[in-house]
Structure 1
């Protein structure tokens, strides 16, 4: 049995690998020439939910799922690491598609965790927020700019109504 901190570090490593893969290939799948052939199926749901994560074109499942497997192949020697990563990833997948931003959600303690708001924005607007778990790729490449502008507008409206 690996020490708890090694388990945590390897799960984080798997998440970084999967998120990086997902960001770049998800962004590619949203390109107008590709979207209509593959990724459009995923966007049939504007209000995603946990089980919807599996509702995708088989090629999309293969393409985006590869990033999830790369981390397992590189970092998950003992079976316990594999199960820990599967548990973490599935928990995150359901949380991101829950439609709720729960304030006491322990996943919100993870630095740069994207959460459901960013994923929901992507499904409603079909733009930006391409990463699956973290916000750093979207921030680095500016693909979260419309999401940020939307949040600022919402905050202004909330201040006026107080």
Structure 2
């Protein structure tokens, strides 16, 4: 429904209203469950990894798929055994740490579901603001974890067991780091003041970008080929090879500003 000129925004019927009403219809109890954030985070992570698992399987015998792998010297695609081992580690971290902690945080927030959906403009602005905030705070924390030896050894070193990462490894971290990442994403949405629908879109996009960053493939349709200020998998794989560069998870502006950017294809010094 189009808005009348001068009509207050809260009285308009946004284009997303029908979608929002379908989401809300009879689902308030589920949507407000304290166990929903961690459960959805884990399930979407696994689902988004599924296409890359298929690529890794095909890469075992398909030269075309293997040619999309970023580093020719990174060896064959990870085996199904590596995928399963990683899956159980991530699941264990969620069940023992992330699920109870985020359930407590969610219960303390006492969220509510508004009747109106956000406008398309508001949804775009809120999602983009969340991504920028998450990227900025992650960059700062990531640099600190690498520069402070105790923090690196006790929180981040587990993630760097993957010198040539694969999609599921995006969340293959210790419980403390895994919990911190999920709390950072929840906190980013809370700080921006997101509508629940905007927050859901942000979490989905955030999960997909993390999976794509770690996938190990230079795909023709990857986001970094379409948006020049997104680093993508080539940018992040360099970080897993040379730990002192490319700290930002998604965008490259902070690495450029602080001199920690290393473009794909440039000579990588041995640490």
Q: CA shift at 1:121, angstroms?
A: 0.6
Higher relative contact order (CA 8 A, sep 6+): 1
Q: Which residue of 2 aligns with 1:114?
A: 231
Q: Which residue of 2 aligns with 1:71?
A: 188
Which residue of 165, 169, 191 maps to 1:48? 165
Within 2, Cα distance between the matches of 1:42 and 1:91? 18
Within 2, Cα distance between the matches of 1:30 and 1:37? 11
TM-score by length of 2: 0.51
For residues 36 and 102 of structure 1, do their structure 2 counterparts lie closer, same or farther at Cα, with a shift above 3 Å needed?
same
User: Could you give the per-residue CA deviations for residues 25-55 of structure 1, whole angstroms, max 9, x where no partner exists?
Assistant: 0011112513222211000011212221221
2:124 is equivalent to residue 124 of structure 1: no
Number of aligned positions between the proteins: 151
Larger radius of gyration, structure 1 or 2?
2
Within 2, Cα distance between the matches of 1:36 and 1:53? 18
User: Could you give the per-residue CA deviations for residues 113-134 of structure 1, whole angstroms, max 9, x where no partner exists?
Assistant: 1100111011112221110110
Q: CA RMSD in A?
A: 2.0
Q: Which residue of 2 aligns with 1:10?
A: 126
TM-score by length of 1: 0.82
Structure with more helix by fraction:
1
Within 1, Cα distance between the matches of 2:130 and 2:118? 16
Q: Which residue of 1 aligns with 2:52?
A: none
Unpaired runs of 5+ residues, structure 1, are 155-162
